[in-house]
Structure 1
Amino acid sequence: MTEPAYPAKPRPGDRVAVLSPASGLPEVLPLPFELGLRRLVEEYGLVPVEYPTTRRLGATAGERAADLHAAFADPQIKAIVTSIGGDDQITVLPHLDAELIRANPKPFFGFSDNTNLLMYLSNLGIVGYHGASVMTQFGRPGAMHPLTEASARAALFTSGEFELTPSPETNDVERRWEDPETFESAPVMEPAGGWSWHNADRVVEGAAWGGCVEVLAQLLMADREIRPADEYAGGVLFLETSEMLPGAEEVYRVLRSMGERGLLRQFPALLMGRARAWSFDKPNDAAGRERYRAGQRAAVLRALAEYAPDTMAVFDVDLGHTDPQVVIPYGGLVRVDGPARRIAVVY
């Protein structure tokens, strides 16, 4: 496996591509998208550049791949920021020109279904950034959360170490993006319990690998982009689940499959994102959300006990489908210090 390298970072005033390689939801949900674009301009000093499929729902895999190629090939584009996730990005991967992308590395920001591209880039030797999409983080109602803003800014513009800190508050109860009133105030937050540690008796430093559990399941089933297990030895696994709210047994089965493949035991440390526990289809109350998170935590610990009993794990890290959200450098260095209860990433 190629050792990933960090692409050069953009600077204020630079042009950045805004793409929808997973789903063109800006076409039908313009309010968070336009807000996110304004913040990229007004708060980050960047110049967003849209492409033919950025606001086109239902674009083919080949058309989305063409936009990716155009953005990577353009020397004036200094980074790529995704609009949002989706559910079929795995179909885009066969259309990609690996040599073109490898020859023109750029920071790529996205999460959820963009796990596909982040893994693809990592296999090409390019560090990507799991997090900070236009509609979800930059387009957050009211204001960006300070923790998200600091992490996104550091990931976009800096190249050094960034220490993660647990958020004292969280929220996953959404309001309708079709309603303009949604964007007049920030989400109502509730207290968060901080990180929860397991086997926290060592310090682990390694390359980050993982992403959205449901997307990893697709890649495992398709046998796509997953390298031989021993190539991940010593890395830091990070996992999170989406607004689809997979059940605890489903999460366990995905991790069991990773265990049977020999993957889980390769990672001496795991960062588990704070589980999203509410959706419009499953509007759990506070007690229901806590039960859901507890069930998922138990499922992960069950899989670790069976396949990687010595792995250190940190639960409820603010990564993935959660608010606030920190950015994880995919393929980049992460240090997990169990005795000190600290996590640092290198952007």
Structure 2
Amino acid sequence: MTMIAYPPKPSPGDRVAVISPSSGLPGLFPLPHELGLRRLRDEFGLEPVEYPATRTMDSTPAARAADVHAAFADPSIKAVIASIGGDDQITVLPLLDRELIRANPKPFFGLSDNTNLLAYLRNTGIVAYHGVSVMVELGRPGAMHPQTADSLRAALFTSGPYELRPAERFNDVDRDWADPATFDREPPSRPGSGWSWVNADRVVEGRTWGGCLEILGWLLMADREIARDPAEYDGGVLLLETSEELPSAEEVFRTLRNMGERGLLGRFSALLMARPKTWSFACPNSPEEGARYAAEQREAVLRAMRVYAPEATIVFDVDFGHTDPQVVIPYGGTVRVDGPARRVTVTY
């Protein structure tokens, strides 16, 4: 059984690494990136330090692995934050020095393709943090969402319990990062519908694993960063979210089915399923089309869980995925899912 510990926290005034272990999109879209860097300085009191591949598109896996190593090895760096996600971080994993990283534990923040590093760090014995990238959440037009900012501040600087709450309003429609006018005002939002609970007659407290469903499917196919002993996940809390690529309900079901066939799905006592993103530039759904997409995804999840984990407590529409606001979830850390009280509490 892997022993997992929370790494030391940064303090205001500390230096934090900003890296691009997936994609060098800051080089193509500097506006949200530089806005995110300013907010790290001005609103969180941290000094961001960029690494060579941060703004380099098509950098090699070796170059990105070198940035990861440099960030963790530098004793003056107190946390590591991903600029954005991407789609090929899995090629970086075999190049990482696990002993170097284990000897220099630091909080790492990221999501989406950064599911790779989150799973890697958990297997290395380090609690990481699912959520918040420099370009998206820190670089949000107009202002950071207060719910995101409060969660990030708590995860960065405090230890102990933090109660998550449903977003009263949310957004999942993007605007053009290349257009300066995008950043003149906050994005529009629409009313949230709260969380939906299934099997909410119990209290589950356990360590988390999961992340972006598409990336988990890739890790399963490549047989990387999945615990060799499935008992590692017994009684845990599974985190799942889907990306802006809007995977079909059938793809969601098949991925979960295959996790079930591998003996993973039934190990978890609870599932937190993030509010799905339902709009993208490639698929600009109307609100009605988006609602239908979300309903179909929920039924796909339920269809798989009924077969492989029928007793698990499920909470739908938790705000930790590709939608706005976004709360931070400790990855490998402890989450308490209290069904009777309808409360979710994370431990930062």
Distance in 2 (alpha carbons) for counterparts of 1:67 and 1:314: 36
Distance in 1 (alpha carbons) for counterparts of 2:294 and 2:160: 33
Give the conservation status (yes or no) of the 8 Å contact 1:4–1:331.
Answer: yes
1:132, CA displacement in angstroms? 1.0
Structure 2 partner of 1:186: 186
Structure 2 partner of 1:341: 342
Pair 1:113-2:127 in alignment: no
Distance in 1 (alpha carbons) for counterparts of 2:225 and 2:198: 29
Distance in 1 (alpha carbons) for counterparts of 2:69 and 2:221: 26
Pair 1:267-2:268 in alignment: yes
Structure 2 partner of 1:241: 242
Secondary structure at 1:289's aligned position in 2?
A: helix
Give the conservation status (yes or no) of the 8 Å contact 1:229–1:261.
Answer: no
Q: Deviations over 1:178-214 (max 9, x none)?
A: 0000000000000010000001000000001100000
Q: Deviations over 1:226-258 (max 9, x none)?
A: 113221101000100000000000000000000
Structure 2 partner of 1:257: 258
Give the conservation status (yes or no) of the 8 Å contact 1:334–1:346.
Answer: yes
Secondary structure at 1:343's aligned position in 2?
A: strand
User: Percent identity, aligned pairs only?
Assistant: 69
1:331, CA displacement in angstroms? 0.1
Distance in 2 (alpha carbons) for counterparts of 1:142 and 1:172: 16
Aligned residue runs from structure 1 range 1-347, under 5 A: 1-227=1-227, 228-347=229-348
1:2, CA displacement in angstroms? 1.3
**Which residue type is aligned with residue 252 of structure 2?**
V
Secondary structure at 1:303's aligned position in 2?
A: helix
1:220, CA displacement in angstroms? 0.5
Distance in 1 (alpha carbons) for counterparts of 2:13 and 2:168: 34
Equivalent pairs, count = 347
Secondary structure at 1:239's aligned position in 2?
A: strand
Distance in 1 (alpha carbons) for counterparts of 2:217 and 2:279: 21
**Which residue type is aligned with residue 76 of structure 1?**
S
Distance in 2 (alpha carbons) for counterparts of 1:81 and 1:211: 16
**Which residue type is aligned with residue 307 of structure 1?**
Y
1:320, CA displacement in angstroms? 1.6
Secondary structure at 2:90's aligned position in 1?
A: helix
Give the conservation status (yes or no) of the 8 Å contact 1:241–1:321.
Answer: yes
User: What's the TM-score, normalizing by structure 2?
Assistant: 0.99
1:3, CA displacement in angstroms? 2.2
Alignment RMSD: 0.5
Distance in 2 (alpha carbons) for counterparts of 1:137 and 1:333: 23
Secondary structure at 1:94's aligned position in 2?
A: helix
Q: Deviations over 1:85-144 (max 9, x none)?
A: 000000000000000000000000000000000000000000000001100110000101
Give the conservation status (yes or no) of the 8 Å contact 2:196–2:317.
Answer: yes
Show structure 1 runs of 5+ residues with no match.
none
Give the conservation status (yes or no) of the 8 Å contact 1:25–1:55.
Answer: yes
**Which residue type is aligned with residue 279 of structure 2?**
W
Secondary structure at 2:35's aligned position in 1?
A: helix
Distance in 1 (alpha carbons) for counterparts of 2:230 and 2:259: 9
Q: Deviations over 1:7-58 (max 9, x none)?
A: 0000000000000001110000100000000000000000000110011111
Give the conservation status (yes or no) of the 8 Å contact 1:73–1:100.
Answer: yes
Secondary structure at 1:221's aligned position in 2?
A: helix
Q: Deviations over 1:305-327 (max 9, x none)?
A: 01110011000000121100000
Q: Deviations over 1:139-163 (max 9, x none)?
A: 0001011110100100111111100
Show structure 2 runs of 5+ residues with no match.
none
Give the conservation status (yes or no) of the 8 Å contact 2:12–2:45.
Answer: yes
Distance in 1 (alpha carbons) for counterparts of 2:23 and 2:222: 20
Distance in 2 (alpha carbons) for counterparts of 1:343 and 1:87: 30
Q: Deviations over 1:277-325 (max 9, x none)?
A: 0000100001001000000000000000011100110000001211000
Secondary structure at 2:118's aligned position in 1?
A: helix
Give the conservation status (yes or no) of the 8 Å contact 2:2–2:232.
Answer: no
